[in-house]
Structure 1
Amino acid sequence: MIQKLRVFLLLLFISTTTFAQQPLRLAVAGLSHGHVGWVFNRKEKKDMELVGIYEPNTQLADKIARQYKLDKKLFYTDLDAMLKATKPQAVSAFGAISEHLAVVKACAPLKVHVMVEKPLATTFKDAQQIAALAQQHGIHVITNFETSWYAGNQYVKQLLDSGRLGPIKKVMVNDGHQGPQEIGCSREFLEILTDPAKNGAGALYDFGCYGANLMTWLLKGKRPLSVTAVTHQNKPNIYPKVDDEATIVLQYASSQCVIQASWNWPFSRKDMEVYGATGYAVAVNDLQVRERLKGQQEKTITLEARPAPFTDPFSVLAQVVSGQLKLEEYDQYGLKVNLLVVEILEAAKTAARTGKTVVLRP
């Protein structure tokens, strides 16, 4: 009897281990987004299997196939046909932000989970439809933000949650770079970023979304009372259709967040300053934090990178789909946070256009 029990437990262990190691069947929808290369450059990791690629632009598809030495059999020019033929468990969307809703509409009825690049959508209406489809069909829709990989941001939030900073009073988030053309974005990606219909706006959406995401995460989903914003075209000769400079002010009952989103920084940056009533912490980058707590001098801390799977969005997606990872209610990847992010961005765009502060509905 004991021997039979041992054999049963061994078989159960092997079965469970095998199931846990099954790679995620992943398909890609769109190739124009500049971050798409990541999915083709992680062949050493075995947690996902690329089963299909949808891209209607055959010239772009050919270019990507050559660049990454991909089998042309993976490519489809019709999204529905690709989903039907390849039967993925999840799809990663790498087209224009305005296309996210169409991807979710195609995937949700098939119970295919979706990961999109930030932000979730270009309009709050689209974001609401995405959330409704996810709920109706029981799928995950997660939004990939680079700042969710940063150990520095996690450390600052731990300080805040532990009470060592005191109640949050002011947050400054600075994001951006010299400009998408200046840093050499591809022609296809540049076409998205500089099209207000496809990207939502310019720097306002491209980098303003980071601050809205971080502040909503820090405050566990709390809504701002109002949104004020100023945008400008410092380089209208390069970016004639969209803003390249944006400042957003989110006002809460007892705190404020200032988001500086720009395509005019002298270098790339993604940093966050959090000021509480009794201390402050500045996430200088992904691994460095400057902090000063009550009764102490300022000090700089160098952190280790976040543990797996949190430095790789595809590993996060694979574990979320398999059930190995359960996202927190107000996770940076999650729908609750990213619905509010899009609402904030839309309010900021309205505020900048009208020159008036937008008061959000309770």
Structure 2
Amino acid sequence: MRYLLLLLITLSMTLPTASGQPSPLRVGVVGLTHTHVHGIFNSEGRGDIEIVGIVEPNDTLAQRYADQYGFAKELVYPTLETMLAAQQPTAVTAFGTIYDHLGIVEVCAPLGIHVMVEKPLAVSLEHARRMQELAEQHDIHLLTNYETTWYPTNHRAYELLKQDSLIGALRKVIVRDGHRGPKKIGVDPEFLEWLTDPELNGGGALTDFGCYGANLMTWLMDNERPLTVTAVTQQQQAENNPLVDDEALIILTYPEAVAVIQASWNWPIGRKDMEIYGLQGVIYADNRQDLRVRKPVGYDGFTEEEYTLDDRSTPYDDPFSYLAAVIDGRVEVKPTDLSALQNNMIVMEILDAAVRSATSGQTIQLK
């Protein structure tokens, strides 16, 4: 039965249309409890993907999304296996708990079905290593989606950093991510239930937002692993997050650079920003669109240039358009890319070390 399913999936892979354009990628959506799932429903209208099946055992939740986005309830299946057998998608996207990611890859990889998960890659380094093994064994794409991957400011900052004459050699990066906390910002109850569960999410703010900085720094460092990881966590909202940390500070050291990752569910204002310091200047990626470059003048003076950037061109402005382009061969995923498995395995090493450091009170050296 599994071999027949693999054959059907292979035959249903995207083919060029009469106009020469690739047909939409057939995608299955696995889970509706992660509210980032709104992104794929909103993306479908671009024409790069077609949602052919949805896995969600919670009928009430599935009906809520069906009412909002107008899809037929017949598109919803109780299990991953029944959806795959009925619809033969080319790829699936994971929008359940982080713990679920391994199980999805265990089912999909042997069938040759590509997988995109929401950040982080896995709930633990152990899960991540098994996922990597399966992806490589069965030659599937296993991508990780971060909101900040699609920020034009981050990509412009990367380009400016690589121009050695602009800010000089990299010495320090500060990445800040987070918001007031899941309960305070009013996330849906089905999301809150697992987001604050240490087993299903792998931790609290350290996992939820620490992964952004680890991903970006690994990218800036061209997949160089840090020498050491030191982390401190706190629980400042015990009434809202009784089982997990909600404040995390992670310090990464490299031979000639350092990164400071501030992951928090206690910011008064939501933020995703980055500062890149070189020997001769600093780049501020303030948000998705706004970027600044400062060059020193005298002791504490500086000149500053400000940029407001347009979104990147298709398919580099949307995770699901990107997924379609990767699978049909229009885009090659480099090991250092933000979505790449190799980058995100290093991210998982960093998060694992950060958890161990925060628990033990010791700096962890990565061998």
Q: Which residue of 1 aligns with 2:186?
A: 184
Alpha-carbon distance between aligned partners in 2 of 1:19 and 1:131, rounded to the nearest angstrom? 34
CA apart distance, 1:19: 5.2
Task: Supply the AA of the counterpart residue of 2:318.
Answer: D
Q: Which residue of 2 aligns with 1:42?
A: 43
Alpha-carbon distance between aligned partners in 2 of 1:297 and 1:222, rounded to the nearest angstrom? 32
Counterpart check, 1:314 vs 2:320: yes
CA apart distance, 1:101: 0.6
CA apart distance, 1:234: 0.5
Give the unaligned 5+ runs of structure 1.
Answer: 1-13
Q: Is the 8 Å Cα contact of residues 180 and 266 (structure 2) preserved in structure 1?
A: yes
Q: What does 1:217-256 align with in structure 2 at a 5 Å threshold?
A: 217-256=219-258
Q: Which residue of 1 aligns with 2:68?
A: 67
Task: Supply the AA of the counterpart residue of 1:176.
Answer: G
Alpha-carbon distance between aligned partners in 1 of 2:308 and 2:294, rounded to the nearest angstrom? 14
Q: Which residue of 2 aligns with 1:303?
A: 309
Counterpart check, 1:214 vs 2:209: no
Q: SS of the residue aligned with 1:297?
A: strand
Q: Which residue of 2 aligns with 1:4?
A: none
CA apart distance, 1:47: 1.2
Alpha-carbon distance between aligned partners in 2 of 1:187 and 1:15, rounded to the nearest angstrom? 42
Alpha-carbon distance between aligned partners in 1 of 2:88 and 2:251, rounded to the nearest angstrom? 44
Alpha-carbon distance between aligned partners in 2 of 1:40 and 1:288, rounded to the nearest angstrom? 27
Q: Is the 8 Å Cα contact of residues 30 and 95 (structure 2) preserved in structure 1?
A: yes
CA apart distance, 1:17: 6.0
Counterpart check, 1:335 vs 2:337: no
Alpha-carbon distance between aligned partners in 1 of 2:49 and 2:310, rounded to the nearest angstrom? 25
CA apart distance, 1:61: 1.8
Q: Which residue of 2 aligns with 1:21?
A: 22
TM-score (norm. length: structure 1): 0.93
Q: Which residue of 2 aligns with 1:269?
A: 271
Task: Supply the AA of the counterpart residue of 2:98.
Answer: I
Aligned pair count? 348
Q: Which residue of 1 aligns with 2:8?
A: none
Q: Which residue of 2 aligns with 1:107?
A: 108
Give the unaligned 5+ runs of structure 2.
Answer: 1-14
Q: Is the 8 Å Cα contact of residues 56 and 76 (structure 2) preserved in structure 1?
A: yes
Q: What does 1:126-205 align with in structure 2 at a 5 Å threshold?
A: 126-163=127-164, 164-205=166-207
Alpha-carbon distance between aligned partners in 2 of 1:227 and 1:329, rounded to the nearest angstrom? 22
Q: SS of the residue aligned with 1:301?
A: strand
Alpha-carbon distance between aligned partners in 2 of 1:103 and 1:293, rounded to the nearest angstrom? 48
Q: SS of the residue aligned with 1:309?
A: coil
Task: Supply the AA of the counterpart residue of 1:310.
Answer: Y
Task: Supply the AA of the counterpart residue of 1:204.
Answer: L
Q: Which residue of 2 aligns with 1:86?
A: 87
CA apart distance, 1:26: 0.4
User: In the TM superposition, what whole-angstrom CA distance separates every residue of 1:292-334 from its partner, at most 9, and x where no partner exists?
Assistant: 2366712222222111112211100010111111122200000
CA apart distance, 1:55: 1.3
Q: SS of the residue aligned with 2:99?
A: helix
Task: Supply the AA of the counterpart residue of 1:126.
Answer: H
User: In the TM superposition, what whole-angstrom CA distance separates every residue of 1:16-50 from its partner, at most 9, and x where no partner exists?
Assistant: 76453301000011110011112222343111111
Q: SS of the residue aligned with 1:290?
A: strand
TM-score (norm. length: structure 2): 0.92
Q: Which residue of 2 aligns with 1:10?
A: none
Alpha-carbon distance between aligned partners in 2 of 1:61 and 1:297, rounded to the nearest angstrom? 53
Q: Which residue of 1 aligns with 2:7?
A: none
Alpha-carbon distance between aligned partners in 2 of 1:115 and 1:73, rounded to the nearest angstrom? 23
Alpha-carbon distance between aligned partners in 2 of 1:48 and 1:256, rounded to the nearest angstrom? 40
Q: What does 1:340-351 align with in structure 2 at a 5 Å threshold?
A: 340-351=346-357
Over 3 Å counting, the alpha-carbon distance change for 1:223 and 1:75 in structure 2 is: same
User: In the TM superposition, what whole-angstrom CA distance separates every residue of 1:258-317 from its partner, at most 9, and x where no partner exists?
Assistant: 000001111110000000111110101111111123667122222221111122111000
RMSD after superposition: 1.5
CA apart distance, 1:56: 2.1
Over 3 Å counting, the alpha-carbon distance change for 1:29 and 1:43 in structure 2 is: closer
CA apart distance, 1:125: 1.0
User: In the TM superposition, what whole-angstrom CA distance separates every residue of 1:176-200 from its partner, at most 9, and x where no partner exists?
Assistant: 0011111110001111110000111
Task: Supply the AA of the counterpart residue of 1:184.
Answer: G
